[in-house]
Structure 1
């Protein structure tokens, strides 16, 4: 039934007023949600630079609150300390800045404008590491380490032509390597009030792949899991059985270390120390073969393998450090050959922590391809705090998918769940493969609370799976 004109006008005005009130409340809620400044965050768009005195890297500086929200109107004075052979060549808005200190330890000051400051870092001529640190009064500092390299001419590890394997499945995966440790502490998992195995809950919400990390000897005193040995071969064997029994597929992530391996640390396994390079290469091959053969013997061969974890600065240091690109290529190749010796059809991923760093991602892949390293999949880590914006991720993944004859995926992420999956599953040339969320059972934006009860985050995956996995 139609209302009289005056009444309709009144109703429209009332509706408008309510909408404006709601909008104002949303704005107020947003402003309340952003708390006090707590931390300086720096995002480097290169963490590997040429030590030629000319190479430059852009570094974004912002301030966040304790919940990770960016303070959009921050105007703090930031003090930068550079330790190593590099210098600031420019600050955003053509700011004037002053430098004090001795060579290889320079302090520079600059000011945030409207919550952001761009820094241009220029390389020196010395190989090695440069530490870049940003501090502001009363805030937790931000820091990164940048590798300065002189790569030299590439030497091919083989003249054989390699045709990359294509992974047929789309992947919505989860790295749940912490699960045995959590269960050992007595933690039980439930979904909507029903207690189940964590694997079963993940599968109920559309997950079809599990990623497991493996360390050489994590039980040693300075290993990942002293005396207990979590993430060793035996724990991996048991978890692989559970994964396959749940009807899910398995990605195995070799760290080639007794401890965490990432861009800041790639410690050589204790059992390989003091050996010459040829012996280490042979150890990489035999260790890879032994692990995979034992998994194959019990019917749980991985469906994909990572040779190294976040290896954009290399692996098995110092021999495989990024400054030694030929040696790094040889070590990766020995891992790949170990995988193929057990099953030639198993796809191999190269995993770098460069979600939004396109120039560096291209540099790494180009260097490996120039040396003829065989691999099938490009994997990226994406954490906004370190790897840029969603636009940076999309641009990088799109470029890598277009540029190389490999599928591309997000091998680690936690935040922006829907957005990251939308990007990862919509790449050109049919190169989309999928994602692995990192440790969703108990870490960062976890999909279970501390008591093991599923929360609202897990329900996002029903829609993601319906859109990209089960359609």
Structure 2
């Protein structure tokens, strides 16, 4: 079924230095959000990951991003993951660093112990046997706990996602696509928690398959019928999976105008090489994953600039910006995709914004200058 098809590959799966900063490659004002998902950063650093400016000097990864123009980071939250990462502990620490650098923070609630995406929305183990009312309360309490802690340390979240890639709902089966009253109640529990503990935080609802207009109209029309509350619409669009750029542009424009909400391309990425760094086969291995854009540093940067152009052209100024997915997920041994398997590798390192020596790539400047 097209509307709920799985993106299974996603399961394998947040001082200016002139040499590291390029001038914007477009006319007119930049995007309000020039963001990067850095959810894997805390674990990478703990395992010895190194990040460098384009000229080879070592630096703090968030500072390198900031100096290139990245003004927003995204951090996912799992409830009780096997490896202890992507929890409130790391979110608080990374958010404090980002805020000190002047960056904003988007918190991405998966409401799971592991990856939540269109192919799976598995309840946290601790929530498996809860009644529906208890489950709804757990969503509220978990959301309030993380965002309340951020506010208490003086680094409130600027935006929060209630669920991740919600094509088929969340917390299956209670909030699945075939139980819209349940889904709406769970989503609104998250919304209410955000506004109760951090009133200035904007609430995003996020779907994958960003070129699928039938999906977006069905989902957000039905959400409206069930009184689902939100402030911003997020879209995932990976050019090698989700249709043509023209189809993505048509959909994001339609979504912004139809629902009169700001829109964000909240996940995208592109490879800078076909080579592998960690012995774990990469998800994308084609030399030209999207026609006209090679898997090279220049091709990656060109794709980032093109997608930024699409978002800038959303009517009525409703295109807020974009987040590059897992910009810092380099091939550090032990920082693999499966939190339950330390031997798993990273199938994404050829799409990071740092090369295999840890140097910032041209794609980072393209993102920061978008």
TM bucket normalised to smaller: 0.7 to 0.9
- Structure 2 residue aligned with 1:204: 67
User: In 2, distance between residues paired with 1:376 and 1:170?
Assistant: 16
Unaligned runs of 5+ in 1: 1-43, 49-129, 133-141, 145-168, 220-224, 465-471
Aligned residues: 298
- Structure 1 residue aligned with 2:182: 327
Unaligned runs of 5+ in 2: 11-30, 271-302, 331-347
SS in 2 for 1:211: strand
Q: Is the 8 A contact 1:189 1:454 kept in 2?
A: yes
Q: Residues 401-447 of structure 1: CA distance to partner in whole angstroms, max 9, x if unpaired?
A: 11112001100001321111110121102211000000112334222
Structure number with the higher strand fraction is 1
Q: RMSD across aligned C-alpha pairs, in angstroms?
A: 2.0
Work out whether 1:250 is the aligned partner of 2:206: no
- Structure 2 residue aligned with 1:418: 305
Work out whether 1:378 is the aligned partner of 2:233: yes
- Structure 1 residue aligned with 2:279: none
Q: Residues 193-250 of structure 1: CA distance to partner in whole angstroms, max 9, x if unpaired?
A: 221101111111111000000111113xxxxx2xxx0111111111111111111000
- Structure 2 residue aligned with 1:120: none
The Cα shift of 1:143 comes to 9.7
- Structure 1 residue aligned with 2:361: 455
TM-score, structure 1 normalization = 0.61
The Cα shift of 1:326 comes to 1.0
**Relative contact order: is structure 1 or structure 2 higher (C-alpha 8 Å, sep ≥ 6)?**
2
Distance 1:175 1:143, change over 3 A: closer
Q: Is the 8 A contact 1:394 1:423 kept in 2?
A: yes
User: In 2, distance between residues paired with 1:244 and 1:393?
Assistant: 32
Task: List 4+ stretches of structure 1 deviating above 6 A.
Answer: none
From 424, 428, 437, give the equivalent of 2:315.
428
Structure (1 or 2) with the larger CA radius of gyration = 1
From 337, 356, 361, give the equivalent of 2:192.
337
- Structure 1 residue aligned with 2:44: 182
TM-score, structure 2 normalization = 0.77
User: In 2, distance between residues paired with 1:265 and 1:278?
Assistant: 22
Give runs of aligned pairs for residues 2-13 of structure 1, distance below 5 A: none
SS in 1 for 2:52: strand
The Cα shift of 1:344 comes to 2.3
User: In 2, distance between residues paired with 1:143 and 1:212?
Assistant: 20
After superposing the two structures, state which structure 1 stretch, 327-336 or 293-302, moved more.
293-302
Work out whether 1:263 is the aligned partner of 2:150: no
Distance 1:371 1:236, change over 3 A: same
Distance 1:143 1:456, change over 3 A: closer
